[in-house]
Structure 1
Amino acid sequence: MQDVLFKTTAGSTLRYFKRGNGPILIVTPPGWGLGTSYLQEAFKPLETTFTLVFLELRGNGKSSRPAASEMSCWHLADDIEHLRQELKMEKISYLLGHSGGGTIALWYAAKYPNKVDRLILLNHRLDGFDDSKSMKEAILEKAKNPKMHAPLKAWTTSHENLTDEGFAQVIRSFLPMYFYNPDAFYRSKELSNLQSVPLWNYQTVNGVDREAHRQEPELGKVTAKTLMISCRADPVCTPAQAMATQKGIAGSKLVIYDECGHFPWLEKEETFRDITDFCSS
């Protein structure tokens, strides 16, 4: 595996990890501090088909930290453009983002429509979309399961004054509710053993003071062939967001999994099949 630090044309430092064989598939994680390790663990089955490049976004790991005002998903999309230039790619053939990383990848496809061919959004969040109704319904459904009670309680825990280690502990406590089967959380060693997550990142990317950018009015700019995978038991990036995205991107494809949560590869074995089929179609 290659582990590379590079200077961008903007003067910042970014890091990426490269592994596998085949055409390049750039993978974008959320910007709020979860990092790329859980995705490197998850996407090992794709290494025989693609060269996977995992981008460590600004403010994460060894990538340099910008001003808080430059940590919105709209800003973070420019890190993908810096990576494209660093890799000397005329065009990104395959760009995949998970969760908030999908938000960032979607912004990239809207801001740089001529620089990406195929876009894959796994359980993405649609920036600025009011999904409160669907989220409430998902939470009420999960509350019927006694195994979800402790994670739901942890989800509402205040984290304003936590250390990065304390924040990671809270995340470990509530992540089981992101699954259809809460026990599936433990299938990921990286997620179930999170030790430190930078609270600063979360507060700047998702906090109440963050700069608001709405994606819905920009979706018509996306020309990339687009696949969205969404899951009915995802309480934070619900199918309602994916359906709104599909409506805005001409010709886009949406697959919705039943009995599956926010990390589909841990609950649905067809996840990688659907990704590879889309890329080869």
Structure 2
Amino acid sequence: MKRKFNNLNINYRYTYNKQRDKVVLLLHGWGGSLNSFRFLEKFLVDNGFSVINLDFPGFGASDIPPQDFEVQDYYKIVSELLDYEKIENVFVVAHSFGGRVAILLSALEPERVKKLVLCDSAGLKPKFSLSKQIKIFNYKIAKKLKSIGLIKRDLINYGSEDYKALPEQMKPVFCKIVNSNLENYLGDITAQTILVWGTNDKDTPLYMAKKMNKKIKDSAIVTFDGCGHFCYLEQPEKFEIILKKFFE
């Protein structure tokens, strides 16, 4: 379905159990869509959870945001969506860029987040340059999404060409997003948190998880040995077991 939040038409899916309780909010990464979590969504619904899964602005079937859009604007969309659906609190599962939005939601509305799962999450300013982020980050994400059948496109020279192929409105948004540093928000997160990380993640390296772990009061790190930036897709059964136990 589509609804307008923060002045943009947002595509989302709300699958709920009879009581409409135990709601899990899924927040996909940059370059993804609600389809990025389609396997996990089915698992959660089959195990009695209600699930909200959305396309962030600029992805899937949602509107392209204006050029001045920032992480805070993405957060506002999620907050308004939860208000509209009259959902008081949620379990949150966020991957990569989605982690930025989850960090803001958890810090600014702590009463709303029951438990938080940050998977290979962004949120800290990386050590390497913006140009390198664009070339490496876009290429690896597109390559992974293609390998699991979520996108179909020629990936040759993707790292250098995809940024150019972005709609003009999305280019400044991307630059703002990857340069935003949410470290100061981490100390305000009160929800019990697990940081699920691939030990071979090159996009949001393991040192970021360790730094977040020190800042988030009630947090722990769970590593997936040998996995990269998409550990939840590389070892889906393990990820599902962790979620089910954590959300009990």
TM interval, short-chain normalised: 0.7 to 0.9
Normalised to the residue count of structure 1, the TM-score between the two structures is 0.71
**Alignment CA distance shift 1:36-1:194 (3 Å):** farther
- Is the Cα–Cα contact under 8 Å of residues 41 and 190 in structure 1 kept in the other structure? no
Partner of 1:181: none
Contact 2:94–2:119, Cα closer than 8 Å, also in 1: yes
Q: Name 2:158's counterpart in structure 1.
A: none
Q: Match of 1:68, SS?
A: coil
The corresponding residue for 2:11 is: 15
Superimposed CA distance per residue, residues 246-275 of structure 1 (whole angstroms, 9 cap, x where no aligned partner): 111101121011111122233323111111
2 CA distance for matches of 1:258 and 1:20?
A: 33
| Displaced runs of 4 or more, over 6 A | 195-198
* Counterpart position of 1:28: 27
The correspondence of residues 1-281 of structure 1 with structure 2, limited to 5 A, is 4-8=1-5, 10-19=6-15, 21=17, 23-30=22-29, 32-49=30-47, 50-70=49-69, 72-91=70-89, 93-128=90-125, 130-132=126-128, 175=143, 186=147, 188-191=148-151, 193=152, 199-200=166-167, 203-207=171-175, 212-268=179-235, 269-280=237-248
Identity %: 22
Q: Distance between the aligned counterparts of 2:41 and 2:111, measured in 1? A: 26
Change beyond 3 A, Cα 1:52–1:156: closer
Distance 2:61 2:111 in 1: 29
TM-score (norm 2): 0.79
Match of 1:189, SS?
coil
Structure 2: give runs of 5+ residues left out of the alignment. 156-161
SS at match of 1:34: coil
Q: In the alignment, residue 103 of structure 1 is paired with which amino acid?
A: R
* Cα drift, residue 20 of structure 1: 6.2
Residue identity in the other structure for 1:231 = G
Q: Which one-letter code corresponds to 1:274 in the other structure?
A: I
Give the letter aligned to residue 36 of structure 1: L
Q: What residue identity is the alignment partner of 1:18? A: Y
How big is each residue's C-alpha offset from its partner over 1:219-244, in whole Å with a ceiling of 9 and x where there is no partner?
11111111110011111011111111
Moved more, 41-50 or 269-278: 41-50
Measured in 2, the distance between the counterparts of 1:29 and 1:277 equals 21
May I ask how many residue pairs the two structures share in their alignment?
A: 230
- Asked whether the 8 Å contact 2:99–2:122 carries over to 1, the reply is yes
